Amino acid sequence: MSRTRILVTGASGQVGSAAVRFLAGLGEVVAPGRDRLDLADPTSIRTLMREVRPRWVVNAAAHTAVDKAESEPDLAFALNAEAPRVLGEEAREIGAGVIHFSTDYVFDGSGERPWVETDPTGPLNVYGRSKLAGEQALAATGVTHFIFRTSWVYGAAGKNFLLSILRMARERELLRIVADQHGAPTWSEDLARLAAHVITQVDKNGQGSLQPNDLCGVYHAGGSGETTWHGFASAAVDMLREHDAGVTLARVEPIATAEYPTPARRPANSRLNCTKLSQAFGFRMLDWQESLRQVMRQLYPSGN
């Protein structure tokens, strides 16, 4: 086993592509494409793990199409539950560690208090149930694991809410955005930075086989602060308006969830309490407004 080899799954996605960049300084990063790793096929996973023999697995891959998961639950569970289990089993055999990303959708969205890791789960949709099953399956393997539940992931690349809003703000006169779902946007690069930080912290005490310890388990890792989808969209359009002075952009109007029905139910409360992460690793997630400003600077560099 290479002590510095890191396998990143989902390298074409928002978190995975950022992780490849942030982890490059820590060792050899292996980021296979679909032609080499089919996460819906356990045999493909086992074959690659035995070939690569990484010290760390950063599992950033998932079935994230929340509404589509309602009509294809088998695929959602294959990618979100079965794949983490197989990765965990193979990693345990070679003494490797697994960093796995999960979601606020494991909760039912009740109340107004930010969720802590020990709160009862109760997912409202197939996506949430499959991700919760993945958390449980990974932990049950006995591998050294760190599960980071996050929320409302976005960045300067890929497909996400922010990029859709910025595009539609130029195309439409009015955007009607849900204003009764509360949480915090999380920058994909912040999650990649977290993965690198945790690997560095865990590895600083030695390079031998990674053994489970008290740090292993579930952590909440969402952007600091809170807002609504309407608040997020409004802030983004305001920043775009500053950049595109004189350009007419859409008005952003608040609506209730009931006015925008979707196949999958969404939780009303996606707030995450990230105190445990800060206490265990000395890592604080960026405030969502600060991360939004940084992403907007990436999208619209000064002078362009």
How far is 96 from 4, CA to CA, in rounded Å?
Answer: 11
> Interior CA angle at 221 toward 107 and 93, to 5°?
90
How large is the average pLDDT for residues 16-24?
95
pLDDT at 84: 98
pLDDT confidence tier of residue 207, bands split at 50, 70 and 90: low
Give the pair of three-digit tokens for residue 198: 């945790």
d(CA 299, CA 279): 33
> Please, which residues have CB within 8 angstroms of residue 271's CB and are 6 or more apart in sequence?
112, 113, 114, 115, 182, 183, 184, 222, 226
pTM of the full predicted structure? 0.93
Q: Give the orientation angle of helix 288-299 with respect to helix 188-203, to 10 degrees.
A: 110
Q: Residue 277's closest CA among 187, 197, 213?
A: 197
Q: Which of these ranges, 98-107, 111-120, 206-215, 241-250, has the smallest mean pLDDT?
A: 206-215
Q: Where are the domains of the chain?
A: 5-158+186-223+266-286
Q: What pLDDT was estimated at residue 212?
A: 66
Give the mean model confidence (pLDDT) for residues 166-188: 96
Which CATH architecture group holds 5-158+186-223+266-286? 3-Layer(aba) Sandwich (3.40)
Check residue 246 and give its pLDDT: 78
Is-contact 87 45, C-beta < 8 A? Answer: yes
Mean pLDDT value of segment 127-139: 97
260 is catalytic: no
pLDDT at residue 26 greater than cutoff 50: yes
Express each pLDDT in 45-82 by its tens digit: 999 999 999 999 999 999 989 999 999 999 999 999 99
Beta strands 144-150 and 28-30, pairing class:
unpaired
Q: Exactly one of 127, 219, 260, 300 is catalytic; which is it?
A: 127
Residue 230 CA to residue 237 CA, distance in Å, equals 10
